[in-house]
């Protein structure tokens, strides 16, 4: 029986696990979070359950069905609080190339079957802050990566003040804690994600004083209006959009296009922001600046995929930083599939469709099989939807005009824009590794998850770096204690620790 490991239990991973089970594979579904559902279906803490957990969610009933089915299925092992911290080539199989790619199927290959993954996935299971996480190393036949994305935020003067949140963090607090990040909140950035964030803030009691989309109406129209028939498959989104529009009317939330928060002000925390109109490339238009009082700001300029594991597995990545996949969601590495936001930012429907295709093919099916035709059709629609999001809301280069020399770019290592530029100019280096070492940008606790793409753009422009390095390469994908790395030699390792090597 094919053993499929699915990493990530958001919409894409859940759909992948179900589809793989439908084809009879033995499935392990794991997620670093303590509940299934990913970023989209978040849960209230168990100590504070609410009868209406589904409030602020779309498709909660569908989620509950998926979860029930997987949890009740003896053929699916579900692991939560299970962090994959590394992926490496299998060393028991002499036929694996130095880059981790399969040269042939190895001793596990079956004539006529799809090529098997030749990777070992290292997992720590247990609460992140607990001392007794259990180490497991899993060698699946097929691996589905569905690790999602986190939101991308461009810097501006004052963005390091308390009270400035990523829109994703504000949404997570609203959905997962029913907490609003402030009383008078400005939401700004680019993309449709600003709308559910404003809705959740209003529902949790905040006064949203404005939603500011950086793109001008011309660009939004050029991205969304052509070929309207291609959007018919995404008709469900129209109802969601209508709900957000009604939310803006009901709570009197102004929605402004072609404008952005270009500075936040305050001493101990945010007290006000400067909002400016932008030109089509997001350069502030002189004389349009106005000050708005606010005690919180939520900013998001799109999403950036979580690529640590695909890169560690050796998957090819596109120039705009998504995992390259074929019609069956197969990556460039045999036996490794990818689905959801790591292959493109298309929203929950895209994640569900891609996940189902990935799980089906990982379990030995084909993208042309009748059982998966509905998902293949949905995938075509959602691919179009993802293209429109990028065309309408993608980041424009003029945002660097918001920065002054003192604006912190890397908040962990406190590297301001002026120093970053001056050090880059002084070293004349064309390699990202040496630039990171000399500037310290991206070397702090978040390991460049927040600032990495920004640092790359500011130091390397659009041309990339001579050493081919990217800030998404993190061979150790999550913090691991030295004792956990040391494994058996850990002094506080309790009895019962399991190291399961799947041969
Ligand atoms: C903070 C946030 C809030 C969002 N809120 C909304 C919203 O309200 N409305 C909306 O339409 N869209 C929202 N989105 C976008 C939406 O979540 C995505 O469209 C959708 O969830 C993508 O599904 P996915 O399965 O690809 O990824 P996700 O739902 O992100 O799931 C990925 C899962 O992978 C797990 N994972 C990642 N790395 C590892 C690892 N190394 N080991 C183990 N597990 C791992 C994560 O814990 C996560 O549960 C939000 C996105 C973010 C980042």
How much distance in Å is there from the Cα of 383 to the middle of ligand 1? 18
Question: Do 232 and 251 belong to one domain?
Answer: yes
How much distance in Å is there from the Cα of 342 to the middle of ligand 1? 10
Pocket flag, ligand 1, residue 163 (CB < 6 Å): no
Report which protein residue has its CA nearest ligand 1's atom 20: 348
* 326 in a structural domain: yes
Pocket flag, ligand 1, residue 341 (CB < 6 Å): yes
Question: Do 223 and 243 belong to one domain?
Answer: yes
How much distance in Å is there from the Cα of 11 to the middle of ligand 1? 8
Query: What count of Cα atoms within 13 Å lies in the side-chain half-sphere of residue 425?
Result: 6
* Closest-lying ligand 1 atom to the alpha carbon of residue 82: 43
Pocket flag, ligand 1, residue 191 (CB < 6 Å): no
Question: Do 209 and 267 belong to one domain?
Answer: yes
Question: Do 378 and 417 belong to one domain?
Answer: no
Pocket flag, ligand 1, residue 441 (CB < 6 Å): no
Question: Do 309 and 293 belong to one domain?
Answer: no
How much distance in Å is there from the Cα of 424 to the middle of ligand 1? 34
Count structural domains, the chain: 3
Q: How far apart are CA 330 and CA 334, in angstroms?
A: 8
* 470 in a structural domain: no
Pocket flag, ligand 1, residue 168 (CB < 6 Å): yes
Whose structure tokens read 């502030």?
284
* 501 in a structural domain: no
Question: Do 20 and 133 belong to one domain?
Answer: yes
Pocket flag, ligand 1, residue 136 (CB < 6 Å): no
As a three-state string, the secondary structure of 2-67 is CEEEEECCCHHHHHHHHHHHHCCCEEEEECCCCCCCCCCCCCCCCCCCCCCCCCCCCCHHHHHHHH
Report which protein residue has its CA nearest ligand 1's atom 19: 347
Final residue of a domain: which of 253, 270, 301? 301
* 468 in a structural domain: no
Residue 126 tokens read as: 């247990």
What size, in residues, is the chain? 503
Q: What is the pLDDT of residue 197?
A: 94
Report which protein residue has its CA nearest ligand 1's atom 14: 40
Q: What is the pLDDT of residue 235?
A: 67
Q: What is the pLDDT of residue 495?
A: 37
Whose structure tokens read 């400067």?
274
How much distance in Å is there from the Cα of 414 to the middle of ligand 1? 28
How much distance in Å is there from the Cα of 303 to the middle of ligand 1? 10
The enclosing domain of 227 has a CATH number of: 3.50.50.60
How much distance in Å is there from the Cα of 40 to the middle of ligand 1? 6
How much distance in Å is there from the Cα of 149 to the middle of ligand 1? 6
Pocket flag, ligand 1, residue 215 (CB < 6 Å): no
Q: What is the pLDDT of residue 501?
A: 38
Question: Do 121 and 217 belong to one domain?
Answer: no
* 482 in a structural domain: no
Q: What is the pLDDT of residue 234?
A: 67
Pocket flag, ligand 1, residue 340 (CB < 6 Å): yes
Q: Which residues contact 315 (CB under 8 A, 6 or more apart)?
A: 145, 323, 324, 331, 332, 333, 336, 338
How much distance in Å is there from the Cα of 361 to the middle of ligand 1? 22
* 73 in a structural domain: yes
Report which protein residue has its CA nearest ligand 1's atom 38: 147
Q: Which of 40, 170, 344, 355 to mutate to test the pocket of ligand 1 (most atoms within 8 A of CB)?
A: 40
Report which protein residue has its CA nearest ligand 1's atom 7: 40
Question: Do 180 and 212 belong to one domain?
Answer: yes
Q: What is the pLDDT of residue 115?
A: 74
Report which protein residue has its CA nearest ligand 1's atom 6: 40
Helix (H) / strand (E) containing 168: helix 167-177
Q: What is the pLDDT of residue 429?
A: 79
pLDDT 10s digit of each residue in the chain, 503 long?
Answer: 899 999 999 999 999 999 999 999 999 999 999 999 998 888 777 666 666 667 667 788 899 999 999 999 999 999 999 999 999 998 755 344 333 333 333 344 443 346 788 999 999 999 888 878 999 999 999 999 999 999 899 999 999 999 999 999 999 898 888 889 999 999 999 999 999 999 999 999 999 999 999 999 999 999 988 887 777 666 667 777 888 888 888 889 999 999 999 999 999 999 999 999 999 999 999 999 999 999 999 999 999 999 999 999 999 999 889 999 999 999 999 999 999 999 999 889 999 999 999 999 999 999 999 999 999 998 888 888 888 999 999 999 999 999 999 999 999 999 999 999 998 888 877 788 888 888 999 999 889 999 999 999 998 876 777 777 788 888 899 888 888 887 644 334 333 333 333 33
Q: What is the pLDDT of residue 492?
A: 40
Question: Do 180 and 258 belong to one domain?
Answer: yes
Final residue of a domain: which of 360, 389, 418? 389
Q: Which of 16, 37, 39 to mutate to test the pocket of ligand 1 (most atoms within 8 A of CB)?
A: 39
Instruction: Provide the terminal-to-terminal Cα distance of the chain, rounded to the nearest Å.
Output: 14
Pocket flag, ligand 1, residue 40 (CB < 6 Å): yes
Q: How far apart are CA 486 and CA 476, in angstroms?
A: 14
Report which protein residue has its CA nearest ligand 1's atom 40: 84
Q: What is the pLDDT of residue 1?
A: 87
Final residue of a domain: which of 259, 285, 301? 301
* 133 in a structural domain: yes
Question: Do 142 and 15 belong to one domain?
Answer: yes
- Domain, as residue range, for 18: 3-149+304-389
Q: How far is CA 351 from CA 5, 14, 43, 232, 276, in A?
A: 17, 10, 19, 18, 35
* 476 in a structural domain: no
Pocket flag, ligand 1, residue 309 (CB < 6 Å): yes
Question: Do 339 and 411 belong to one domain?
Answer: no
Go through 64-82 and write b for each residue having 16 or more CB atoms within 10 A of its CB, e for each that does not.
eebbeebeeeeebebbebb
How much distance in Å is there from the Cα of 336 to the middle of ligand 1? 20
Question: Do 10 and 145 belong to one domain?
Answer: yes
């Amino acid at each position: 029986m094919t053993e499929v490991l699915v990493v990530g239990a958001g919409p894409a991973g859940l759909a992948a696990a179900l589809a793989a089970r439908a084809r009879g594979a033995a499935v392990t579904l794991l997620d670093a979070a303590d509940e299934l559902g990913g970023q989209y279906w978040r849960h209230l803490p168990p100590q504070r359950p609410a009868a209406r957990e589904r409030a602020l969610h779309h498709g909660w009933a569908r989620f509950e069905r998926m979860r029930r089915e997987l949890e009740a299925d003896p053929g699916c092992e579900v692991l939560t609080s299970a962090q994959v911290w590394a992926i490496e080539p299998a060393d028991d199989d002499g036929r694996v190339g130095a880059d981790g790619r399969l040269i042939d199927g190895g001793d596990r290959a079956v004539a006529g079957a799809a090529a098997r993954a030749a990777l070992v996935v290292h997992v720590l299971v247990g609460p992140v802050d607990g001392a007794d996480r259990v180490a497991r190393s899993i060698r699946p036949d097929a691996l589905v990566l569905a690790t999602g994305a986190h939101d991308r935020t461009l810097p501006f003067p004052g963005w390091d003040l308390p009270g400035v949140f990523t829109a994703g963090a504000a949404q997570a607090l609203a959905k997962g804690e029913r907490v609003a990040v402030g009383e008078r909140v400005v939401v700004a950035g680019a993309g449709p994600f600003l709308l559910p964030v404003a809705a959740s803030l209003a529902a949790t009691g905040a006064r949203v004083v404005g939603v500011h989309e950086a793109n001008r109406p011309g660009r939004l129209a050029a991205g969304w209006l052509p070929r309207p028939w291609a959007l018919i498959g995404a008709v469900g989104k129209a109802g969601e959009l209508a709900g957000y529009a009604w939310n803006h009317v009901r709570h009197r939330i102004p929605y402004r296009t072609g404008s952005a928060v270009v500075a936040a002000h305050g001493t101990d925390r945010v007290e006000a922001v400067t909002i400016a109109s932008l030109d089509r490339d997001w350069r502030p238009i002189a004389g349009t600046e106005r000050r708005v009082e606010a005690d919180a700001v939520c900013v998001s300029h799109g999403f950036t995929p979580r690529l640590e594991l695909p890169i560690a597995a050796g998957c090819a990545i596109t120039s705009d930083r998504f995992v390259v996949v074929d019609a069956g969601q197969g990556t460039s590495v045999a036996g490794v599939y990818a689905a959801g936001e790591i292959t493109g930012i298309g929203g929950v429907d895209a994640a569900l469709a891609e996940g189902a295709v990935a799980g089906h093919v990982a379990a030995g099916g084909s993208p042309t099989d009748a059982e998966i035709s509905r998902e293949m059709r949905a995938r075509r629609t959602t691919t179009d939807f993802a293209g429109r999001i990028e065309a309408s809301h993608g980041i424009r280069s003029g945002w660097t005009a918001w920065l002054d020399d003192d604006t912190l770019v890397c908040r962990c290592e406190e590297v301001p824009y002026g120093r970053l530029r001056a050090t880059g100019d002084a070293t004349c280096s064309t390699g990202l590794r040496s630039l990171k070492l000399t500037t310290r940008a991206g070397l702090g606790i978040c390991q460049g998850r927040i600032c990495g793409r920004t640092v790359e753009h500011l130091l390397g422009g659009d041309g990339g770096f001579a050493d081919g390095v990217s800030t998404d390469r993190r061979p150790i994908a999550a913090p691991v204690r030295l004792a956990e790395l040391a494994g058996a030699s850990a002094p506080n390792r309790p009895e019962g620790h399991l190291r399961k090597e799947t041969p």
